[in-house]
A and B are shown apart, each in its own frame.
Chain A
């Protein structure tokens, strides 16, 4: 795939301060980050380190106080209006009155695609997350892992080059999570999308990423950016390899340096 020189996401000296009744909260402090096309970037850090907030800034769900950010060379607002990204939330956020097929169709209806195109994309993306045959099921009839896969299919159906995933597997058990991690990796390899992934699991971040951004709280800032060049077709077994453990160790060191383990 051709990697253009321009980064997909370019963040410079970005600050975000939430005004709260008692004291302003410095959620993001002097963030500098470039994410290139085809990268799988994880934001890792303890709760309150601003990793979700940073992602929401990229998605134009929060507005930074100052600093500079471009997504696909545009402002986040323009990027959002052009539907440049697919967003997967912590919870599946499926609409309970829509069945699986209709849930995946939701963004396509909003985009005003033709019925045929909608059906085709639903079919393709449900196949990608191994959910063929569940089109007519309602969300409550699915397990948590399946619901989250539907929400991933929904984000993919927009056919964005950029996928923003906010702790998508955080609420799932470890077995399901491992399984979905493998699926996600394969998906990334097949589709060559740029993925930004928020997590608080060290093994998950090392296993999935090509680049790990370690963050620390109060104020939320970037401690370390670690390149993670494990082969793209890695399997779960790689988690016992020395290279994997070395990177995991460096992530842990970064978290410690950011006082993430302090009481």
Chain B
């Protein structure tokens, strides 16, 4: 039976059948159907009361068509978002304030800076926790406590405090980003740096290796797979951190700013297109980390 399965695995149709494409397409189709249906359902009430108020003749067909073409719908139809995305991503110059690429870049720069800070902080904390027993006991509870505070509550404080000492713009946003993303890196790196087994440690002892030799030649390489697992989580939540950091500042640029202004004026289409850009950006960032991971682990003898 397995022979047959292998032999059919040629050609476009079998690729569709055995690959990931078909399942993903099916999911997309299902979501689209639900979405269009949901758009009619959610927007219908407003439209119907409007028709009645203006004494307009209406049929189901007219209702559906109108529900998918409203200017400020409760739930915009996918194609409306696509049109808006086309307009704001491709038709505008990327330096324009109406370009989503421009806003995405503002948020990305804060994300990347926060991700860099967070990675550095996370790794340093992990190194300290693994090597100094006092830090293990004193620091870890604080690291965990830091994550129990809702970021939405603390973000405005950080902005205000930093604004007071003259830091505005990208830095405060990236600090909020860092605040969120150092945590998975610390947790992952502590585990990774402690991952060498007794045998691997004993081996170092028989060579009477120094602590720094054990660190660089054993602990660090052993922690790399753990680091990348953490980085993938961290880069995604750095983006969340950067967007959240834009909300309480009344920022005029960035994806968060688009979300905020969209909600002020009931521009749901604008909100949704900003959300799409944010999720594409998130996927892109995670993808970049994954590719880097593949390359690095490949060089370290990982099974391709």
> Chain A interface (Cβ within 8 Å of chain B)?
59-61, 80-81, 83, 85-87, 89, 91, 93, 95-99, 106-107, 109-111, 138-140, 158
A-B contact pairs, 27 of them (CB 8 A): A61-B202, A61-B206, A83-B207, A85-B206, A86-B206, A87-B202, A87-B206, A89-B202, A93-B199, A93-B202, A95-B221, A97-B224, A97-B301, A98-B221, A99-B301, A106-B207, A106-B217, A107-B207, A109-B217, A110-B204, A110-B207, A110-B209, A110-B213, A110-B217, A111-B207, A140-B303, A158-B207
CA distance A107 to B202 in the complex (A): 13
A residues less than 8 Å from B200 (CB atoms): 93, 95
CA distance A95 to B301 in the complex (A): 10
- Determine if A91 and B221 form an interchain contact, defined as CB atoms under 8 angstroms apart: no
A residues less than 8 Å from B207 (CB atoms): 83, 106-107, 110-111, 158
Number of A-B contacts (CB under 8 A): 53
B residues less than 8 Å from A85 (CB atoms): 206
CA distance A59 to B209 in the complex (A): 14
- Among the interface residues B199, B206, B207, B303, which one has the most CB atoms of the partner chain A within 10 A? B206
A residues less than 8 Å from B301 (CB atoms): 96-99, 138-140
Q: Does B165 interact with chain A (Cβ within 8 Å)?
A: no
> Chain B interface (Cβ within 8 Å of chain A)?
199-200, 202-209, 213, 217-218, 221-222, 224, 300-301, 303
The B contact surface, by secondary structure, is helix
A residues less than 8 Å from B217 (CB atoms): 106, 109-110
Least CB distance from A87 to B in Å reads 4
A residues less than 8 Å from B204 (CB atoms): 110
A residues less than 8 Å from B209 (CB atoms): 110
CA distance A140 to B298 in the complex (A): 13
CA distance A158 to B204 in the complex (A): 13
Minimal Cβ-Cβ distance residue in A for B203: A93
A residues less than 8 Å from B208 (CB atoms): 80-81, 83
